[in-house]
Amino acid sequence: MEATTQKIELSVTVNGTRYERAIEPRMLLSDFLRHEIELTGTHVGCEHGVCGACSVLMDGEPVRSCLMFAVQTQGREIVTVEGLGTVDALSPVQQAFHEAHGLQCGFCTPGILTTVTAFLETNPNPSEEEVREAISGNLCRCTGYQHIVDAVLLAAKKKQAS
């Protein structure tokens, strides 16, 4: 058990900023993001890879930060919800969620926003069924998903128009 305190040097880019930290190899990526570099926008709902709240983008692909060790991101580029847009300049996906009421408590939202942002890159003009499929790995207890689906379809429309 003492061996786990051996620290490893990690260098990773998060939302365009390079972070260098000495961390324990067992530290989860979700804990690193939330508590080590204090980007608390990424949420943890289950710590076992089912709910999707902790999803972030690694080199553009959605990954579950609760299922990865932070040291596995050595040299990679991570984008969290904080990297998508700001309060004054929401990203098109964030804006669509605002307009379509795609969130209630907001706890599942960061993981859904990152997942959807990547999804719309690969499928800019999805059908409702494809949207439901794309977010089927993200649990939401508040919305019944309908306004989330509406928000994704709206975001696709916004992106096409711009």
Mark residue 38 as left, alpha or beta (left: phi above 0; alpha: psi -120 to 50; beta: remaining). Answer: left
Q: What does the alpha-carbon distance between residue 61 and residue 144 come to, in Å, rounded to a whole number?
A: 25
Decide if residue 45 touches ligand FES (CB under 6 A): yes
Decide if residue 119 touches other proteins (CB under 8 A): no
Nearest approach in angstroms of CB 37 to other proteins is 11
Q: What does the alpha-carbon distance between residue 90 and residue 129 come to, in Å, rounded to a whole number?
A: 26
Q: What does the alpha-carbon distance between residue 13 and residue 19 come to, in Å, rounded to a whole number?
A: 6
8 or 142: whose CB is closer to other proteins? Answer: 142
Decide if residue 144 touches ligand FES (CB under 6 A): no
CB 83 within 8 A of CB 114: no
Q: What does the alpha-carbon distance between residue 118 and residue 39 come to, in Å, rounded to a whole number?
A: 20
Q: Binding residues for ligand FES, per CB under 6 A?
A: 44-47, 49-54, 64, 66, 103-109, 140-143
Q: Binding residues for other proteins, per CB under 8 A?
A: 1-2, 4, 24, 26-27, 34-35, 38-48, 50-51, 53, 80-82, 84-87, 90, 94, 97-99, 101, 103-110, 113, 131-133, 135-136, 138-149
